[in-house]
Structure 1
């Protein structure tokens, strides 16, 4: 019978003759990988050798020509040595060290592993191997190439997102239990997590009154005795016998005054200690997969493949960042020798994620800067004349931002700027002045808002600012017919007028919703695109608006203050302008936290304000959805309707109330908001969908029920709905219950009206999710990095700049693996630059 080794050697040599076309065997070498794996194991070929060769075969189809040459050379070299040793020898001794096609000795695939350390002394770092991807084991090989993982186990692991060797290698623990500190039994204390070494003195099984089977071991280490209990675990009684020497790790409890350890992790003392006597990784699980399963699989993959993975980070980057190389980090992040090495490993992967983000956003920024755009400018005298027409003087922040935008428009490169300013800070004025610069140069601008009511508000404000003369003989910047509004319900006859005016260049400013990016809306010369409340738009929508012109200048605006760390990452491809100063006369909103039993005080305040001629918002709390796969989308609607009916019938029967919730159609929402603007309603009862930026100058009170369910940034947005008319305004926060910790968080709202302070605190407390919107949503899936670690982010950004200075296109040989990893990182959804 021809051995599996001889057969595969024949295929490998035929592959060389055929020029590495992967047709030496029907279906390709990748096709026969599982068949060869099964046959080789049945002939008792060394399992480590088989797994290594199978991994190369399984990925062979994905290799390029140079990688295939190296792979075939490695297969021939490894199999030739295996054939000389023979199956029996291969089974009884470690596999010899194969050499690659270049003659570089590879790490042993099956070596006797040294005993695990019992203290904090680190084991030696694995020797670095040349970082040439062609010589590295292909991490895309399926997990089925590993012994012990068949189709059933593979299906279970797949539920954890684990399909390949690489997935398992980068499947990081969710936490760690430190069992590295051995203690004698007579010094154990209640509540501590420890590791104990002892001998089983006796074992017994009994049934409790409730029918529960209890297996009890009595373990001794000569200093004292410890009872070890297993409930409804018949395997424990069969597995552990008197005289066994065990390593037990777990939490010390008490029963009837005696120390006990319930359901500990146990290993025989001569086993490799993956689960005890060390810092133990704890991984996410699914049904059918235990911690011991996953730890064993990870351990094998880390030991065998971690030394073969190319480190994508250049050595100078690792040195400057103070982080370990990839092989060391992979080893320590899964099975750390001590806490310090674990921290170093975790920092390595956190840095790597942030570094990829910085390389991506800076690359995008460099592309923008390298492009050319039309240059636009106006004289200082003309600008000063136009500023005089404004109803109030510009703040220092507005003047600073205006200077930044004027420089962008005159630079000859497309502006790509994010303008963030607190509610009421005057962003619309800045957008109007930018439009003015473009219009004076006979080009066109577009402003896109998320809702028709907000677009209509911009239309009215900008028309008033840009078309009203301040003296009889003055020529205003634009004529009324040069500014048009395009929304979903714009009549078709008017749409035709707008299309014609855009095409001819007569219309200088088009304001609207998503209707702006519809087919048929064609500009003559779009040179400025302004996107308001940018987080409400997807990447494709922003791109479609830009595509209406030739490299137009882009200004995106948000009223959500963005923490510095996120401005450097999520929005790192944009130039950032901050408006952190409020216009004169804008009063801070008086904010108070009331307990649920004090709610009547809030109702009294609302009543008194309405009696004085004002209006009020009442925000319904978020509804907690059922914890299943099919949450009820109508729950919030039901809750809002019920609260509306209660308030209308029981609390404010003599007032007119309006209702707004997320299940309404867009035109229904607009109709409700317009009625509120027109003072048809005294109170608007709304869920969290109440629009940011909508101006209701007459509203002076907002009551937010269930305030504990909202983040500080969102509460601040709600608060910005009132106090826009110059009158004293009030924000009342009512949590669901009198929780001291939660109410302390809410009290921050009473201490500051600074949205940037609140945004930083929100990031600390609740994470980055609510700041991301529809932008780079994948950032919320980072495995190690924290978007609140400003120090690490600034370090990564600085080093990314240095790398681009050395190798702008990442084409140097030492950066090729980094380039490949970077492309994979961004392709996997960690960002969607715009």
Structure 2
């Protein structure tokens, strides 16, 4: 053994004896690296082994003990040494160098057939990433930042898009609003400092021989020159972004770019483009993925039985994993996307069906009250129930009487009166000696619910009020120790019937005498574990989940198939719809004048911005920066408050309370006021940069006004007078129906915002497009058919599928109600 390798072996064996405490070398193993490099070079150690050893020493001090143990054993294995402790061994066949197709001449080949020696492919799929060629420990750490830890993870690390080099546009054919990829050569670079700011503009002019295009970037002044140095004259780049007008010329603002790999040009093919992180380039990721696909994709066991693949008309998993990365044609790419999207929806549906079966087979206390008492409760309200409220209340009563725990999602548009359903249901439960809890995401929302419950259920002037005022309490982070102790005792002895609160309800050691009904408001703000913790405060309590976020039916059936669904799409009588107008940026002065007029009439206004400060994007108006301008120059005689997401929860609560108490005339805010805040005196919602919001989000913001008796107005101001953007926003002026807008949003922007509401607790949907209603229905029908035939997936042909469902749902967090 060469002397240098023998030294390394001895150091590593000593580190094993020291239980990987980084004490084999004084100062840490990385201190040995400078002296090690010359010896490795002098003794002619192979580049591959040298790279692995150097990466190991460089990353050792930053690694966890578990990672140190694994990497030490891997290096010793490469050096031919066996440690005395048990090791995880990898089948040598899976670690041998893959037999590549010529990557430079054909990127689109499918994976080669498995070699005779690769008899145990699963070892390769679960093996750590640094065992691939040219990926040492430090580069594996970069991949880890993208959630890629194993070779199997890399196969499922899908491209964010594909560029077809055979159909690229030339610059002379670009049109405004094109979102595309071009290939061009750097002609010139200019760095200029933005006046009065720690920002610089980097302008790069590129050409492809048919025309010129300007690329514009904003970077901190300290780093701008280093950034500009990437754009050397004559360098060929692949550039992706949106073509926009600037002083009569075409420009891309902050496009993504990479140096052109000449091999891609020679293939004239479809090239994957991956998400990146610091330390990784497209070339590095593509090389790693290509190795994984070439050697391992054909060895992945297909968890879907052949009968299901035939029924769904989808390709096998090996073909899908190959073609999603390096497709031969657009058709093979689409077939791969369809298979992988089907997998996600199908696994989601199976989990949802199991959830529902598990829930409905449990027993819960029945709550049935006499019709005359129901009539007394309804007649005691200060208004008549809408038809939608009556229908929903009937559905809830049926749940309470069923003997199984209620598990219902109540979707009600902004202002549709969901709170009264929660109040009436709580009344039924407490009249039969149960206790109820309502959990809200913020203290200010909890206070709103508390005031509503006192008004609806404990009105002393009403002879049939179901509760006394003292039986309804509020618990938030502001509650003092004495109040908390009193509340704890009252819940334990049953003298408190209804409690409203925030997460403090589950964090405190609170116990109930007989919790039978739980309401969770704005459910996407709570994680799976929080909902489960609340439920555990009782024995199978009835659960009502409320949201003011209209979710399209196709999406609701997919993501919430385990919940019974109630939709309240009717507004209370007398509620005036908010009048909405789209103004051009040049009409901003008119908007300011309208705000002043409303405030002179005793009302208040919101002005909402898409970003917190202009450092995020200099060309987007920003709350922090414009707050100063609005206060000093536009509304000098008015009080202008500021609310944004970087404030602490206490600071946000304080600002909202001050606004509600009319200490501010105008509240400048980011979207943190989107959900639930009730300021009846606010009559104007002015939204800057409206083109940056989805329709559903704009509707939520609009719902913060129009909650009083006065006519309210919503003003949408996009960044430019772009006719296409204004056409999209025009839908807001035509309807106040949140469900119509949600469907439109789904068509225009895709499912991103909606999916986020339900991702906690299971793997993200990375390939499924929720707009594909046919695929959703197909996956749901196939899942229901399979679930009917084999609900426990216990048949031998479904063994791999059972394992995949558990993996997809992360079974430790599978309570998704």
- TM superposition score normalised by structure 1: 0.70
Pairing of 1:519-558 with structure 2 (within 5 A): 519-558=508-547
Larger Rg: 1
1:734 paired with 2:717, answer: yes
Per-residue CA shift, 1:786-810, capped at 9, x if unaligned? 2333322222222222222222222
Pairing of 1:337-352 with structure 2 (within 5 A): 337-352=328-343
Q: 2:154 aligns with which of 152, 168, 184?
A: 168
Sort the Cα spacing of 1:686 and 1:38 in 2 relative to 1 into closer, same or farther, 3 A: closer
Alpha carbons 1:775, 1:832 under 8 Å: kept: no
Q: CA deviation at 1:369?
A: 1.6
Q: CA deviation at 1:61?
A: 3.8
1:791 paired with 2:791, answer: no
Of residues 716-725 and 490-499 in structure 1, the stretch that sits farther from structure 2 once superposed is 490-499
Alpha carbons 1:324, 1:345 under 8 Å: kept: yes
Pairing of 1:44-443 with structure 2 (within 5 A): 61=88, 136=122, 138-146=124-132, 162-178=148-164, 276=267, 278-284=269-275, 297-443=288-434
Equivalent residue number for residue 89 of structure 1: none
Q: CA deviation at 1:356?
A: 1.9
Alpha carbons 2:315, 2:335 under 8 Å: kept: yes
Unpaired runs of at least 5, structure 1: 2-26, 41-53, 64-70, 80-94, 96-108, 182-187, 194-207, 211-230, 237-248, 252-261, 268-272
Of residues 485-494 and 287-296 in structure 1, the stretch that sits farther from structure 2 once superposed is 287-296
Q: CA deviation at 1:477?
A: 1.5
Aligned-partner Cα distance in 1 for 2:239–2:807: 40
Q: How many residues align?
A: 676
Equivalent residue number for residue 220 of structure 2: none
Equivalent residue number for residue 678 of structure 2: 695
Aligned-partner Cα distance in 1 for 2:438–2:275: 46
SS where residue 684 of structure 1 aligns? strand
Aligned-partner Cα distance in 1 for 2:379–2:745: 39
Q: CA deviation at 1:176?
A: 3.3
Pairing of 1:614-629 with structure 2 (within 5 A): 614-623=603-612, 626=615
Equivalent residue number for residue 228 of structure 1: none
Aligned-partner Cα distance in 1 for 2:286–2:524: 41
Q: CA deviation at 1:655?
A: 3.7
1:514 paired with 2:503, answer: yes
1:583 paired with 2:572, answer: yes
Equivalent residue number for residue 601 of structure 1: 590
Q: CA deviation at 1:785?
A: 1.7
Equivalent residue number for residue 813 of structure 1: 796
Aligned-partner Cα distance in 2 for 1:482–1:581: 32
SS where residue 267 of structure 2 aligns? coil
Aligned-partner Cα distance in 2 for 1:291–1:669: 41
Unpaired runs of at least 5, structure 2: 2-67, 175-186, 190-230, 241-257
Q: CA deviation at 1:363?
A: 2.0
Pairing of 1:647-666 with structure 2 (within 5 A): 647-666=630-649
Pairing of 1:635-784 with structure 2 (within 5 A): 640=623, 643-690=626-673, 692-772=675-755, 775-777=758-760, 781-784=764-767
Equivalent residue number for residue 479 of structure 1: 468
Q: CA deviation at 1:140?
A: 0.9
Pairing of 1:486-501 with structure 2 (within 5 A): 486-501=475-490
Q: CA deviation at 1:352?
A: 0.8
Aligned-partner Cα distance in 2 for 1:292–1:440: 67
RMSD (Å), alpha carbons:
4.7
Aligned-partner Cα distance in 2 for 1:114–1:418: 55
Equivalent residue number for residue 784 of structure 2: 801
Aligned-partner Cα distance in 2 for 1:441–1:369: 22
Q: CA deviation at 1:161?
A: 5.1
SS where residue 572 of structure 1 aligns? coil
Aligned-partner Cα distance in 2 for 1:452–1:118: 60
SS where residue 689 of structure 1 aligns? helix
SS where residue 802 of structure 1 aligns? helix
- TM superposition score normalised by structure 2: 0.72
Per-residue CA shift, 1:296-349, capped at 9, x if unaligned? 654454343333321001222212211011122223333333322221111111
Equivalent residue number for residue 245 of structure 1: none
Aligned-partner Cα distance in 1 for 2:259–2:437: 66
SS where residue 576 of structure 2 aligns? coil
Per-residue CA shift, 1:280-303, capped at 9, x if unaligned? 444456788776665565445434
Q: CA deviation at 1:582?
A: 0.8
Equivalent residue number for residue 5 of structure 2: none
Per-residue CA shift, 1:60-103, capped at 9, x if unaligned? 9489xxxxxxx8xxx9xx99xxxxxxxxxxxxxxx9xxxxxxxx
Alpha carbons 1:369, 1:413 under 8 Å: kept: yes
Q: 2:554 aligns with which of 558, 561, 565?
A: 565
Alpha carbons 1:168, 1:301 under 8 Å: kept: yes
Sort the Cα spacing of 1:726 and 1:285 in 2 relative to 1 into closer, same or farther, 3 A: closer
SS where residue 556 of structure 1 aligns? strand
